[in-house]
């Protein structure tokens, strides 16, 4: 089990470190919001879900895409704006999608994928499917009205949905307590009669356990939606590859306890050396291959400007 966690955590960390390294070259054609430091939330949750379960995330979506086993080559090609990318090179880092892996897409507009997840879960309930849906969003999305509307509707209809708030304390440069009167996101979920937990320390194994139990209860039909608030910490700047502890809105002293809780290192230390090294060599080879694939892929042809703009008439009539 630890091997599986470590492979996923290490893969995400290393992919994003490579993204950060290559970003100044301008080969990557969209802004990047890195999850370095926050990987445990996506990995703990996605390992607890089935491949057939689906997740909806945000523009800070690399970790979730990879944790849900999204295609790495297509992700890097998408960042490069290449036609082989997961959104044909038209979406970039903030609009990753891999429906085959159950990664249903992300959006740059804060809060917007929460109701998408609710709608999907409603469809699963109506069709009596076993699929569990997970909606990932930041503490900033809680500032949006749609957050409360979504919780209310999901609770009312007992939808098969797990809300997962990645609370990294900040919405861009604004601390949660500069935007909200109290640090009580988990209590707001309880106010809608949604069972809710808060995990304080980014512990990947605890996140796994809580999501596993939630998914089992939902699948057994003994629970409506569940809510999980995961306290975590973004190590890099809000957008881009750099550190930003010199910007004045937060301090390195605040960050240090979170560096000490690094889950990539923690799970690595639970494995014997041969296994660590084997996993690392395999992941490094996969990453090299993905960047080479992106480098040699072509940009979309000009005609692609006119496709995927409006839904095709056949799609409307089919629905």
Tell me whether residue 8 or residue 58 sits nearer to ligand TPP (CB atom): 58
Which entry of ligand TPP, Mg ion, none binds 60, CB below 5 to 8 A by partner kind? ligand TPP
Min dist CB 110 to Mg ion, Å, is: 9
CA neighbor of 136 nearest in space, from 156, 157, 158, 107: 107
Contacts of 292 (CB under 8 A, 6+ apart): none
Q: State the minimum distance, in angstroms, from the CB of residue 59 to ligand TPP.
A: 7
Closest distance of CB 60 from ligand TPP, Å: 4
23 phi and psi angles, rounded to 5 deg: -55, -45
Among residues 138, 160, 224, 241, the one that binds Mg ion under rule CB under 5 A: 138
Give the nearest distance from C-beta 57 to Mg ion in angstroms. Answer: 13
Select the span of 73-81, 83-91, 161-169, 180-188 touching Mg ion (CB under 5 A). 161-169
Per partner kind, with CB cut-offs from 5 to 8 A, the member of Mg ion, ligand TPP, none near residue 252 is none
Q: How far is the CB of 177 from ligand TPP (least distance, A)?
A: 13
Helix axes 72-79 and 273-296, enclosed angle (nearest 10): 50
Find the DSSP H helices in 31-80: 39-48, 62-67, 72-79
User: Contact between 229 and Mg ion (CB under 5 A)?
Assistant: no
DSSP label of 159: -
* 3-state per-residue secondary structure call for 230-252: EECCCCCCCCCCCCCCCCCCCCH
Q: Please identify, using beta-carbon distances, which residue of 47 and 139 lies nearer to ligand TPP.
A: 139
Query: In terms of Cα–Cα distance, which of 55, 74, 39 is closest to 207?
Result: 39
Q: Which stretch binds Mg ion (CB under 5 A): 31-39, 130-138, 180-188, 241-249?
A: 130-138
Q: Pick the piece of the chain touching Mg ion (CB under 5 A) from 135-143, 197-205, 241-249, 262-270.
A: 135-143
Side-chain half-sphere of 191: how many Cα atoms within 13 Å? 9
State the residues that interact with ligand TPP by CB under 6 A: 60, 108-110, 138-141, 168, 170-172, 238
Is the CB of 1 or the CB of 172 nearer to ligand TPP? 172
Alpha-carbon separation of residue 52 from 56, 73, 131, 173, 282 (angstroms): 13, 21, 7, 36, 25
Task: Give the CA dihedral 8, 57, 243, 181, nearest 10 degrees.
Answer: -130
- Return the number of the residue (8 or 171) whose C-beta is nearest Mg ion: 171
> Which residues form the interface with Mg ion (CB under 5 A)?
138-140, 168, 170
């Amino acid at each position: 089990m630890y091997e599986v966690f470590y492979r996923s955590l290490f893969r995400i960390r290393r992919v994003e470190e490579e993204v950060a390294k290559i970003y100044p070259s301008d080969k990557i054609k969209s802004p990047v919001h890195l999850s370095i430091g926050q990987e445990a939330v996506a990995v703990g949750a996605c390992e607890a879900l089935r491949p057939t379960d689906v997740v909806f995330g945000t523009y800070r979506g690399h970790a979730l895409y990879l944790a849900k086993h999204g295609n790495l080559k297509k992700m890097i090609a998408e960042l490069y704006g290449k036609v082989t990318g997961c959104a044909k090179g038209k979406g970039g880092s903030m609009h990753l999608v891999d429906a085959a892996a159950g990664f249903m897409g992300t959006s740059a507009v804060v809060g917007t994928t929460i109701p998408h997840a609710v709608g999907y879960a409603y469809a699963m309930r109506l069709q009596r499917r076993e699929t569990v849906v997970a909606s990932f969003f930041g503490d900033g999305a809680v500032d949006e009205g749609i957050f409360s509307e979504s919780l209310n509707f999901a609770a009312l209809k007992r939808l098969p949905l797990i809300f997962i708030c990645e609370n990294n304390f900040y919405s861009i440069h604004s601390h949660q307590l500069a935007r909200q009167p109290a640090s009580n996101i988990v209590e707001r979920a309880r106010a809608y009669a949604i069972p809710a937990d808060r995990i304080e320390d980014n512990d990947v194994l605890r996140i796994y356990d809580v999501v596993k139990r939630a998914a089992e209860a939902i699948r057994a039909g003994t629970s409506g939606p569940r809510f999980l608030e995961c306290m975590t910490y973004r190590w890099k700047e809000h957008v881009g590859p750099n550190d930003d502890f010199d910007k004045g809105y937060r301090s390195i002293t605040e960050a240090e306890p979170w560096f000490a809780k690094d889950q990539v290192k923690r799970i690595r230390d639970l494995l014997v050396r041969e296994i660590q090294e084997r996993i690392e060599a395999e992941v490094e080879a996969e990453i090299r291959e993905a960047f080479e694939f992106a480098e040699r892929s072509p940009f979309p042809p000009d005609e692609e400007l006119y496709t995927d703009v409006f839904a095709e008439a056949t799609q409307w009539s089919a629905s």
